[in-house]
Chain A
């Protein structure tokens, strides 16, 4: 991988984000609903709504509003929330910690459970262990994560009292261990269904590689099973697995919206849901832009990882 390639990939982010701003801005302003009307509530008069719209700058022509937004964005300013009395940047920053922590923990759950069960399933393929794991994987993919979340709350929080039912205290307030304790059930709810996908991909890719000549050669030479599986088969299966993990990360980010609602976690997912209900356009735009940026960077990291796991890949 050359620095020029890396620079080119980073520069390609700019037009992607620009397109995202246009699409999101357009969709938001075409969607019915008025931030002023939502903020003032059910009994607001038309005069009150108009007054607040003027105060919020919503009566300006749409191209003026977009130009203002874009100009601010180019200066690194995401604008001011219409409803939260703070900058969009601050609103995102306040919510980032729980979402990042939840996503990473969920990814850990997904990868750990997925790869391990996939390897076991591949090694013991067509035997009882494989059948059990495959069935569990199918169930995992089929269960909605919000339902799983509610089930986990019922069993582990209400009945057993092992974990809190909801919420998330910041690390600065409660410490790392205590804060992460609140994320155990949510990360299981979010990660286990994605683990099923990783497990299936790991299994099928490894089975393909088991049939390769070099694996047969290694076995014939007397290489131990563990070394064959981990050093020869799994390593060569990593490219598709990493690809799926990249896609899983995207799914985790979108799944976080639902799980944060179920577990009352004040993260970016809850922020975007409540901002949509409030029609808080600047915050919605900020969250979508941030998400788009994360997606693009994840894709870049995945592409770069290919060069690490497969020396034949060069950019």
Chain B
């Protein structure tokens, strides 16, 4: 079976795009600086090695991928003009666009893509998902390359399109220079080029005048990317009240992650517009299945039976606009919607919990619940969960530590029984941490291996959907994790700031954003 991405007629779409821009461009201000206020700072701007949203968002302005998601989360051409898979799904062939320039003046060649993807598979948690399936990755011409697999791997294009731990394409000499150490020279092919990173202050990017945009209309991250602003500055503003104040005074054009409790007041404030980002994240509790009390499946089921997810979501997010009861880890508008497993979700049944706990042989031992107050939603939800579980007869110790300490403790199986975090929206099950055997929680089980193999090797969407349904049903019985539900994000913006397609979808990016005159 040949899986071929759409190749759109450049001539037709070019004329359409030109017409649209001629009409719309007259109302949009070109130039100037956009300031985006972020709650935190990236630890590194090397897209390959970090899955942090901030890093993926910022670096996506200068780094591009061979394919990119459209608004339906379908990979579309970006640096590649064509991406085809062989009938047996074992060879992916990419034909690159010609004349695409890096910010250092060099042309993008197949060797650059090969070097970048090899590094990505070595250092990226996302690339590490693909690596076991890849036999060879070779340039077959100046602008063509092949990924040769040892087994079909359906999520390959989704992994290549994603910006979190993403497969951004660097010049080969940069890859060679830095190896597996964090890349410090931020050179890509994107519509903006890196200018400076002043830690605790901002990252600044400037329009790349030599950018070669695609000609198709923009659609999600795919299609045309227009750098309307001369520069974009990503400012680090840790205090929520300051991000709000700065947007109200016009110092910031857009501010991320405002506390939902401020929504009512901001909705009636004419100096800002509110933006509800959905899908955004979902809350999840991981059980320690390697050591301790939670290796007992029946006890995990008992914990699950006691939880009232609606209360937990309210505790974490507040107003009803910002949460949603959802049992399916594949949230949002993806092809993986299903009700499988829903009957086990949100039981809020303390009696059943007690019964299951007794069956599990639970004798009142202390269950260690690990959480970081650095994330207020996690912490508030954990306090509510503690009350629910204690009402159901469990002895819960909430261990609240700052995030760096949590990462350390979480890596030690003897230190915790349940830990709480959130997971960002992902468009493909392969990107779920909850399916990982190595992610803390350690779902190391032959059945997991079978299910993920089926998910990855299925060659049609229908097969993958069926595989996901089976996986989700099993997850709600085996309970490696508990999906608490969805949380939506609250951003605010200046009324004249017009976010582009990619600004409110998944990991935000601000090409195609503009400021109305």
List chain A positions with a Cβ less than 8 A from chain B.
31-34, 37-46, 48-49, 51-52, 55, 83-85, 91, 94-95, 150, 153-154, 157-158, 161, 164-167, 261-264, 266, 270-271, 274, 276-279
Contact = CB atoms under 8 A, between A and B. Distances in A.
B182 interface: yes
Contact of B237 (A31, A32, A84, A166): A166
Contact of A42 (B49, B51, B181): B51
B403 A264 contact: no
Interface string B393-424: 00000000111110111010000000001000
Contacts of B411: 37, 46, 49
A39 B43 contact: yes
Contacts of A271: 199-200
B199 A42 contact: no
Residue from A33, A38, A42, A164 having most chain B Cβ neighbours under 10 A:
A42
B104 interface: no
A39 B483 CA distance: 26
Contacts of B242: 150, 153, 165-166, 262-264
18 contacts: A33-B404, A33-B407, A45-B125, A45-B128, A48-B123, A55-B180, A55-B181, A150-B239, A150-B242, A153-B245, A157-B245, A164-B249, A164-B251, A262-B241, A264-B239, A270-B238, A278-B404, A279-B404
B238 A264 contact: yes
A85 B52 CA distance: 19
Contact of B433 (A33, A37, A43, A164): A43
A53 to B, nearest CB: 12
A268 to B, nearest CB: 10
Contacts, number: 129
A201 to B, nearest CB: 32
A270 B249 contact: no
Interface residues of B, number: 45
A14 B404 CA distance: 33
Given A165-B242, A166-B251, A277-B402, A95 B200 contact: yes
Nearest to B239: A262
Contacts of B182: 39, 85
A40 to B, nearest CB: 6
B236 interface: yes
Contacts of A34: 404, 407-408
Interface string B418-437: 00010000000000010010
B273 to A, nearest CB: 16
Interface centre among B51, B246, B409 (most CB of A within 10 A): B246
A46 B411 CA distance: 8
Nearest to A81: B199
A37 B407 contact: yes
B249 A157 contact: yes
B404 A154 contact: no
